Structure 1
Amino acid sequence: MKKTMMAASLSGLLLLSASATANISSTVKVVSDYTFNGVSQTTNDPALQASLDYAADSGFYAGTWASNVDFGGGDDTNLEWDAYIGKFYQLNKKWSVDTGIAYYTYHGDDASSSYNYPEAYAKFGYNSSVGDTEFNFWYSWDYFGLDANHYIAMVAHTFEITEGHNIRVGFDRSTSTDETKWSWDGGKSYNHYSVAYTTSYNGFDFDLTLEDTSIDSDTTDTRVVFGISRTFGF
């Protein structure tokens, strides 16, 4: 069932591409560290990431995304491959909402597939004269395949310094509702803080992010992450 969902999403992209190639895009990105809510997924090492996305004029979208990972120790998991499907609604000039579901899969070790899990999300956007504000929520009922309820709440604001140069300030909190199945550093939750600078040049997108968490470990300490990406339309 888990792999079927991802395969269905990929098949859907291939079918849609035959009649709507203008709405197909792919992004390739290199990052100095793949962090997920401030937690390194590569034991502080670089990552190569890529996505394939379809977006319809109606707001419907579907896609797939992959990255190398390294959880350290004796775990040989080396690939995360995700699929997602959702709908974007522009409610009015100021408000928008994006809802969907994602499925995370892991590969490389005999036990990697046991980490697979689904996640539903809702992202609310507000546009004002001082920038864009996001209120985002993610919820999983089987976090990392442990039958644990887990949710993430985030608020972020992006404002323009000068044309083409932006700063994004974000705060999010990850919470497990069952510490016996999943905990963060022995507790049920942790905080993640980030400040990112983004810009584009000659077709490439650049981001430089300073981030930290309330967890004290080698993979969650204060760090600066650099990323460079390019998006291709088909």
Structure 2
Amino acid sequence: MMKKILGLMACLTAAPVMAADVSGTVGFTNDYRFHGISQTAGDAAIQGSLDVAFENGAYAGIWGSNVDFGDDANLEVDYYVGYAGSFNDNFGYDVMLAYYTYPGYDAADGDYAELNFSLSYGNAAVSYAYAGDYFNTGEDGQYVSLDYSHPLMENLSLDLHAGHSFGEYWGEVDMDDYEDYSIGVSGSWAGLDMSAAWVMTSVDKDAEIDTGLFRNDDTLVLSVSRTF
């Protein structure tokens, strides 16, 4: 799967007749949370991406972050290709194929592919993600989310998020379906993009982890990044 995605990325970036915008981002967060669950045992993460976007709506990119799963996993690198467009001035869509990889991870082979669909209207967006082999376990993992951003003033927005994780995988890890929520603000200043969000989950008390690996307790997540 990764070879197919890399091949698609190579084809897109090699197209000479298509104008493209290339950008890179470097960022820092005090806790890398994915669907409300820490991927860094509650510790900080340095993250970065390289993206190319074409005039016709196609795009491709690579994103990376440090991780901590309590074994020899220390790096996540994700590859993605997609196509974004709009039906009118307010109604847009985005289809993306992503491949999550963990280079140097010998304790387990967690690489897997995920297909993402998003629809947006104004400042609101609904998304659905499906992985038929979540974390290479043979079980499916699915995620649906709703996001809304409300401008408060110039360069500052109120951000609301609600997500639902479900599928066979979550039953296998004895956590069952759960929700994650966040409320925060984001903005830009002096060339930096910054955000602060209070992240919450609906995980049952007997499955809540408030310290160490795979923390899923309520917490404040702070992030800052710079795009070049």
Q: For each residue in 1:97-118, what CA deviation from the matched residue of structure 2 results, as whole angstroms up to 9, or x when unmatched?
A: 0012100001233134x10000
The equivalent of 1:8 in structure 2 is 7
Q: For each residue in 1:10-63, what CA deviation from the matched residue of structure 2 results, as whole angstroms up to 9, or x when unmatched?
A: 5346535x7767511111111111110110000011111111111011111011
Q: TM-score, normalised by structure 2?
A: 0.90
Contact 1:9 1:63 in 2 (8 A): no
Which of 19-28 and 78-87 deviates more? 19-28
Is 1:226 equivalent to 2:222 in the alignment?
A: yes
Aligned partner of 1:211 among 190, 194, 199: 199
Segments of 5+ residues of structure 1 without an aligned counterpart are none
**How many Å separate the matches in 1 of 2:7 and 2:114?**
17
Task: Report the Cα offset of residue 202 of structure 1.
Answer: 1.4
1:69-148 counterparts in 2 under 5 A? Answer: 69-72=67-70, 75-112=71-108, 114-127=109-122, 132-148=123-139
The 1:7–1:88 alpha-carbon spacing in structure 2 relative to 1, beyond 3 Å, is: closer
Q: For each residue in 1:173-203, what CA deviation from the matched residue of structure 2 results, as whole angstroms up to 9, or x when unmatched?
A: 00023556x33xx232111010121010111
**How many Å separate the matches in 2 of 1:39 and 1:188?**
14
The equivalent of 1:200 in structure 2 is 188
**How many Å separate the matches in 2 of 1:69 and 1:124?**
30
- The letter for the 2-side match of 1:165 is L
The equivalent of 1:30 in structure 2 is 28
- The letter for the 2-side match of 1:156 is D
- The letter for the 2-side match of 1:126 is Y
The 1:79–1:206 alpha-carbon spacing in structure 2 relative to 1, beyond 3 Å, is: same
1:29-48 counterparts in 2 under 5 A? Answer: 29-48=27-46
Contact 1:64 1:81 in 2 (8 A): yes
Segments of 5+ residues of structure 2 without an aligned counterpart are none
The 1:223–1:87 alpha-carbon spacing in structure 2 relative to 1, beyond 3 Å, is: same
Count of residues in correspondence between the two structures: 220
Is 1:157 equivalent to 2:148 in the alignment?
A: yes
**How many Å separate the matches in 2 of 1:100 and 1:107?**
22
Contact 2:18 2:55 in 1 (8 A): no
- The letter for the 2-side match of 1:31 is T
Aligned partner of 1:58 among 52, 56, 59: 56
**How many Å separate the matches in 1 of 2:22 and 2:81?**
14
